[in-house]
Structure 1
Amino acid sequence: MAKRKKDDHLYERLRLGGVRKRVAKEVSKLQPEKDSPQMKAARRAAADLNLAVDDIKDLITGGPQKRSKAAKKAAKTRKKNRTKKDAAKKRGGKKNGKKPAAKK
């Protein structure tokens, strides 16, 4: 039985995952040199694939997977301000120091 190379397994796995032949071939042939142009291209391809995965997940679940801290804080602040405003509406200005109108 012939031995299969490690890059053949990676190539097949990438192809089964829907990666184009040329990209799968280039990525599977990479040698682990730190700053080679091929490694930079592989990192770029991996980043593109991760973005595609995130977009697909967002499409399926109906929204982004995570919100930034700033967005969460802003939503929390808006909610807090809305509840304060609603409470003030219910009081109807009773707490503003206004005196009731004198009866004649």
Structure 2
Amino acid sequence: MNVLTILVGNKSDLKDSREVPTSEGKALAQAQGLFFMETLALDSSNVAAAFQTIVKEIYNILSRKVMMSHESKKQDAALDGKAIVLQAEENQQPETEAKPAGCCSS
């Protein structure tokens, strides 16, 4: 659940001799919820971009988690020191006051 995966197609310069077409790679990545990118290691095309894509997504995920944590803390702080009033249900009978027990009460 906490793992980001990118499907990288290499040798993007060899369009005619590919084993897997770009469209198939993209479809597989989309079906599996992965990022997709084609690279060319020979001249480093898109190699750095592939790593940057993953780093940016990690940053985005962590930023969202931090924001959610801050919002949760704000909500908790808003309740500190506040009275919470509970109301009895309408059909519930109120309790009667207890009468002091004495030796002479009839």
**What TM-score, normalized to structure 2?**
0.34
Question: More helix per residue: 1 or 2?
Answer: 1
Question: More strand per residue: 1 or 2?
Answer: 2
**What TM-score, normalized to structure 1?**
0.34
Question: Structure with the greater relative contact order (CA < 8 A, sep ≥ 6): 1 or 2?
Answer: 2
